[in-house]
Every structure is written in C-alpha cells, then in structure tokens.
C-alpha cells in the first residue's frame, strides 16, 4: 500500500508552490529575469526617447515610427551573439518578398553608451553590404544613445542585460513596434523565417499583437563541459543500470527452466 501513498504525495509536491529558481517571474511580473526579455506586448514606447544617428545628430525615436518597425538591440563591439543576430536580420531581409523601407523598417540601436556614431556607421556599411538585393538604405538605420535614453528604451521593451567587465550578458530578439508606438511581437533568436517576419509585419501594421511562437532563447552564455560532468554521469549510470537490469531478465529467462503450468 505504500505505493498508493507515494502518488498523492508526489502530486502534492509537484503542485506545491516551491520556489522555482529557474523562473523568478513570469510575464507580467515586475521582478523579471536579470538577463532576458520580458514581453511587454500591447504596451507603448515612451515619447521622450532620443537616439543618435550615424552622423551624430539626435533623433526623436518616436518620429521614426511611420511604418511597422523592427527594433534590434545590440552592441557593436559584441564578440558573441550580436553578429549572428544582425546577420540573421540581413538574411531575412534578403529572403523576404516584402520591401524594406516601404512595408517595414529595421532600427538597430546599441545599448552600450560608450559606443559612438562612427561604430554605428561601420556596422551599417558592413551589414548593408550583406543584403543580397536592391533596397532602400534608409529602411535599415543604425543608432547609438546615451545611458539615460538606453535605459528608457530597453526597459520599455523589457530587454534585460547585465554588464560583465567590458562586455554584456544579453539575449536577442526582433521587437516589432507599430506606427503608433505599440509593441506587438517578439521574434527570439538569431535565425528568422520569412513567414514569421511577414506575419509579424502584417499584424503590426494592423496594430494586433501576438505571443511568441518559438522562443529560442539564445543567450550569450558559456557552456562548460567539465563543470557539467555530473549530467553525463547521471545519464551514463542510468543507461548502465537499464541495460544491466534488462540483460539480467533475459539471462534468467533463458538459463532457468520454466515451471510446469498447473492445469487445475
């Protein structure tokens, strides 16, 4: 009967409000993750954000929003995920049948206040070069900003990152903003499907929002195989036990003689 007590106990345990360290706050809660993205769907970008273009001129962020807009937050010296992410944007712009600068636009902003307009210009030239078709260069603009404006912008879109030494721990997503300044969708990761882009743009144009379909949470993280040895050991030992157990059953069945079935 002990077995029967075990199950209700486990149900209680699995439903109990244990502190779930891997998800300190779900969507909608203020104390979200330290690094990552809290989706602020249907919220609006504040009006007073000012960013700086490649020529060093201040630009009102809100005034740029005349069509469905993709906001991409990176830092230009990033040694990790930013390059694949920005390359992913260049690729999807090349592949999509929508016209950049007409159906939608992309705004890349650096969240590192130490970076200046010349870095933005170099990056713009590099990535514009990666687009494999004719396009309007104003459809994809690159900016920097000071720390106050970066703080306002990143907090408004729920983008959380952390400085470690000279670099940052952060994630990536295309953040869709409507011409009214409303946040409508996040596409996470570094590789984007044209169909996702198109659906996001169409819905953004209509001011509709939708939750993320695939949350490929690509973090700038370092994987340490040596430190993860215990995981491999768990799987190895588990596998050995299973095989040993099964081999024992088979051997016992083959070696020992069957008992006669009683016919009563």
Partner 1 sequence: MESSEKHVSYLEYKGKHKGILGWILSTDHKRIGLLYLYTILFFFSVGAIIGLLMKTQLIAPGHTIMGPQTYNSLFTLHGIIMIFIIVVPGLPAVFGNFFLPIMIGAKDVAFPRINLLSWWIYVIGILIVLTSQFMGDGPPDTGWTFYAPYSFKTPTNVLPAVFGAFVMGFSSILTGINFVVTIHRMRAPGMTWFKMPLFPWSLYGTAWIQILATPVIGITLLLIVAERMLGIGFFDPALGGDPILYQHLFWIYSHPAVYIMILPAMGAISEIIPVFSRKTIFGYKAIVLSTLAIAFVGYFVWGHHMFTSGMSGRALFAFSFLTFLVAIPSAIKVFNWVSTMHQGSLDMQTPFYWAVSFIFVFMIGGLTGLVLGSLATNIHVHDTHFVVAHFHFIVFGGTGFAFMAAVHYWFPKMFGRMYDKNWANMGWTVFFVGFLTLYLPMFYLGILGMPRRYYDYLPEFHPGNIASSLGAWVMVAGLLIILVNLVRSARHGEKVTEKNPWGGRTLEWMVDTPPTLENFEDIPTVDKRPYDYD
- Contact residues for partner 1, defined by CB under 8 A: 7, 10-11, 13-15, 18, 20-23, 26-27, 33, 35-36, 193, 195-196, 198-199, 202, 210-211, 213-215, 217, 219, 221, 223-224, 227-228, 231, 234-235, 238-239, 241-243, 245-246, 249-250, 253-254, 258-259, 261, 263
Write out 157-223 in H/E/C secondary structure: HCEECEEECCEEECECEEEEECCCCEEEEEEECCCCCHHHHHHHHHHHHCCCCCCCCCCCCCECCCC
Give 106's strand partners.
Answer: 70, 140
Q: Which is closer to partner 1, CB of 1 or CB of 134?
A: 1
Q: Which is closer to partner 1, CB of 155 or CB of 237?
A: 237
Rounded least distance, CB 227 to partner 1, Å = 6
Q: Element (H or E) spanning 93, and its range?
A: helix 82-95
Rounded least distance, CB 244 to partner 1, Å = 11
Rounded least distance, CB 169 to partner 1, Å = 10
Q: Which is closer to partner 1, CB of 166 or CB of 253?
A: 253
Q: Which is closer to partner 1, CB of 17 or CB of 63?
A: 17
- Please provide the size of the chain in residues: 264
Rounded least distance, CB 210 to partner 1, Å = 6
Q: Characterize 7-33 residue by residue with b for buried, 16 or more Cβ atoms within 10 angstroms of its Cβ, and e for exposed.
A: eeeeeeeeeeeeeeeeeeeeeeeeebb
CA distance 134 to 187: 25
Q: Which is closer to partner 1, CB of 55 or CB of 246?
A: 246
Give 258's strand partners.
Answer: none
Q: What angle do CA 224, 230, 235 make, to 5 degrees?
A: 115
Rounded least distance, CB 131 to partner 1, Å = 21
């Amino acid at each position: 009967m002990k077995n029967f007590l075990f199950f209700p106990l486990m149900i209680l345990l699995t439903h109990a409000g244990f502190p779930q360290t891997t998800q300190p706050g779900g969507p909608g809660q203020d104390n979200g993750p330290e690094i990552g993205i809290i989706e602020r769907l249907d919220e609006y970008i504040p009006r007073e954000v000012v960013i700086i273009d490649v020529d060093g001129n201040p630009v009102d962020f809100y005034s740029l929003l005349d069509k469905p807009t993709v906001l991409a937050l990176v830092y230009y010296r990033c040694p990790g995920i930013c390059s694949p992410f920005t390359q992913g944007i260049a690729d999807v712009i090349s592949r999509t049948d929508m016209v950049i600068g007409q159906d939608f636009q992309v705004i890349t902003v650096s969240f590192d206040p130490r970076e200046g307009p010349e870095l933005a210009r170099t990056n713009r030239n590099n990535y514009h070069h990666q687009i494999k078709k004719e396009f309007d260069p104003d459809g994809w603009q690159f900016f920097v900003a000071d720390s106050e404006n970066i703080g306002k912008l990143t907090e408004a879109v729920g983008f959380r990152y952390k400085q470690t030494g000279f670099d940052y721990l952060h994630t990536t997503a295309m953040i869709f903003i409507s011409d009214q300044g409303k946040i409508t969708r996040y596409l996470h990761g570094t590789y984007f499907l044209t169909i996702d882009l198109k659906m996001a743009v169409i819905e953004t144009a209509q001011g509709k929002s939708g939750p993320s379909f695939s949350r490929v949470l690509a973090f700038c993280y370092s994987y340490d195989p040596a430190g993860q040895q215990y995981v491999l050991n768990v799987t190895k030992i588990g596998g050995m036990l299973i095989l040993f157990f099964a081999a024992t059953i088979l051997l016992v069945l083959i070696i020992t003689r069957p008992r006669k079935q009683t016919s009563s």
